[in-house]
Amino acid sequence: MPKRLFFKNFRLPNVFVLLLIVFISCALLICINFFTIKILSANRAYVNGESHYSKGQKDASRHLITYLYTKEPIQWQHYIQELKVPQGDGIARKTLLKVGDNEVARLGFTTGRNHKDDLDDLVWLFVNFKNVSFLAKAIHEWEQGDNLINELFIIGTQINAKIQRNSLTAMDQQKFLTKISQISDQLTINERNFSNTLGEGTRKIKNLLIITNIIFILIIILSVCSYYSIMVKRLLISKKEIEVKNEDLIIVNRELDRFVYSASHDLRSPITSLKGLIEITQLEDDVNQIKYYLQLMHQSLAKQDQFINDIIDYSKNKRKQIVIEPVSLRELFDEAISQLMHIENANKITFKQELLIDEIQSDGLRLRIIIGNLISNAIKYADNSKQEMFISIKTYVDNDCHKIEVADNGIGINEEFKDSIFEMYFGTNKNKGSGLGLYIVKEAVENIKGNISVVSEKTIGSKFIVTIPNSYGI
C-alpha cells in the first residue's frame, strides 16, 4: 500500500504540470494569433487605403490636366474633390505623429475614403507600431507621397490663377503638363513602395506566426506524448505533411501577394495614361500633335498587351501539368521568331541557327514559354548603334543534357543587375518589358527540372544557356 501511494503521489503533480503547460501554451497561442490577426487586418486596411489614395491622386491629376487645356470650372471642382482623398490621409498621418488618436485623424482617414469599420485598426496599428521597421519605412514613403501631393496642389493653384487672369500660354500648358506627369510618376513609385513594404511586413508576420504556432504546438504535443505515445506518432506524421503543405502555401502566398500588389499598379497605369491622352487628343486640332498622342497611346497599349501576355504565361506555367512528349526545337524557334517580327527593329536583326539537336522529350508548353521570352528579350534589348545586329541560336548535347543557347550582341546587362534579373518584377528598363519575362523563364526551366545561366557584358551582348535533362525518371 505505501508503494502504491508513492506512485500515486508521484504521478499527480506531473499530470497537473502537463495540464498547466498545455493551458498556458493554448492561452499564449490564442493571444498571439489574436494580435497577429489584428495586425494583418490593419495592414489590409492600409493597403485598401493606399488604393483609394492612388486612385484619388491619379483622378485629380487627370482632371487637372483636362482643366489645363479646357479651362472648364467643373474640371477644377473635380480636381479639388479628388485631391481631398490623399490630403485627408496626409492630415491623419501628421495628426497621429504629433498627438496620437483623436477625431481629426479619424476624420482625415474618413476623407481618404477609408471604411469606418477600419478606422480603429488603422489608428491602433499606427499608434502602437509606428517605430517598427516595416511600418516606419511605409510611413516614410507615405510622407514623401504627401509632399508630392502638396506640390501637385501648388501646381493646381498656379494653373487656376493663370486661367483666372487669362494669362495661360501654350508654353505654360506644356510646362505644367510635364510637371504633373513627373509628380504622377514619382507618386506611383511611392505608392508601390508603400504597398510592397506593407506586403513584406505582412509576410514576415505570417512567417513568425507559423513558427510560433509550430513551437507551441510542439510543446503541447510533447506534453501529451508522455501518455499517448501512439497518438504522438500519428500526429508527427500528420505534422510533417502539414509543414510541407504550409511551406508550399507560404511560397505561393508570398508570390501571390507580390504579384497582386505590383500587378494592380501596372494594370492601372496604362489605363490612366490612355484616359488622359484621349481627353487631350479630343481637344487638339494640330494633326502632328494628334499623331504624337496616338503614338503614345499605341506604346501604352503595346506595353499593356505584353504585360497581359506575361500574366497568361505566368498562369499557364503555374496551372498546367508537366506533359513529357516529343518536341521539335526547330519548330519552336521558327514559330517564336515569326510571332515576334512585329517588335521594333526585329526586321533589322540577323538570326543565326545552329541546331545540332531538334526533337527532344520534354514539355512543349514550357519550352515555348522559355524560347519565346528569351528571343523576345534579345530583340527588345538589341543595340541599334551597331552596324550588324544578330541573335545566335544553338542546340547541342553536353554531359548527357540538352543545351539551348540564345546569344546576342545587344546592350548587355550591368554587372550589378546579374543576380537580380530572374526576380519577379525586376527590369533594367520598364519601358521595354513587364519585369515578368525572365522570372517566368526561370520557373518554367525549374518545372522541367532544368537550370538556366547567363553570361553578359555591358555593350557587348548576352548569352542565356538553358540546360534540360536528357531523360525524366518516372
- What counts of helices (H) and strands (E) characterise the chain? 11, 7
Judgement on whether residues 114 and 235 belong to the same structural domain of the protein: yes
Judgement on whether residues 259 and 325 belong to the same structural domain of the protein: no
Instruction: Quote the CA–CA distance of 448 and 312 in Å, as a whole number.
Output: 19
Q: Which residue has the cell 501511494?
A: 5
Tell me if 231 is assigned to some domain. yes
Reported confidence tier of residue 1, pLDDT bands at 50, 70, 90: very low
Tell me if 83 is assigned to some domain. yes
Closest CA to 412 of 441, 386, 442: 386
Reported confidence tier of residue 4, pLDDT bands at 50, 70, 90: very low
Tell me if 303 is assigned to some domain. no
Which of 249 and 72 is assigned the larger pLDDT?
Answer: 72
Give the 3-state DSSP-derived string for 215-259, with helices as H, strands as E and coil as C.
HHHHHHHHHHHCCCHHHHHHHHHHHHHHHHHHHHHHHHHHHHHHH
Instruction: Quote the CA–CA distance of 149 and 209 in Å, as a whole number.
Output: 36
Per-residue pLDDT of 275-286, as tens digits, reads: 676 877 777 777
Per-residue pLDDT of 397-414, as tens digits, reads: 988 899 999 999 999 988
Could you report how far apart the first and last alpha carbons of the chain are, in Å?
65
Mean pLDDT of 197-218: 79
- Identify the pLDDT of residue 130: 84
Judgement on whether residues 27 and 166 belong to the same structural domain of the protein: yes
Mean pLDDT of 135-142: 86
Beta-bridged to residue 466, according to DSSP, are: 404, 452
Judgement on whether residues 230 and 353 belong to the same structural domain of the protein: no
User: 135 — phi, psi (to 5°)?
Assistant: -75, -35
Q: Is it the case that residue 115 has pLDDT exceeding 70?
A: yes
Would the CA dihedral through 439, 445, 450, 452 be positive or negative? negative
Closest CA to 390 of 360, 417, 354: 354
Judgement on whether residues 327 and 192 belong to the same structural domain of the protein: no
Per-residue pLDDT of 213-261, as tens digits, reads: 788 788 878 776 765 654 456 567 777 878 877 776 776 566 555 555 4
Ramachandran region of residue 369, left (φ > 0), alpha (ψ -120 to 50) or beta? alpha
What the block records as the C-alpha cell of 34 is 489574436
Q: Is it the case that residue 308 has pLDDT exceeding 80?
A: no
Residue 351: its H or E element: strand 349-355
Per-residue pLDDT of 325-345, as tens digits, reads: 899 999 999 988 888 887 777
Query: Considering its fold, how many domains does the chain have in total?
Result: 2
- Domain range enclosing 139: 15-263
Tell me if 150 is assigned to some domain. yes
User: 320 — phi, psi (to 5°)?
Assistant: -70, 140
Reported confidence tier of residue 59, pLDDT bands at 50, 70, 90: very high
Reported confidence tier of residue 389, pLDDT bands at 50, 70, 90: very high
Tell me if 7 is assigned to some domain. no
pLDDT, averaged across the chain: 80
Instruction: Quote the CA–CA distance of 93 and 100 in Å, as a whole number.
Output: 9
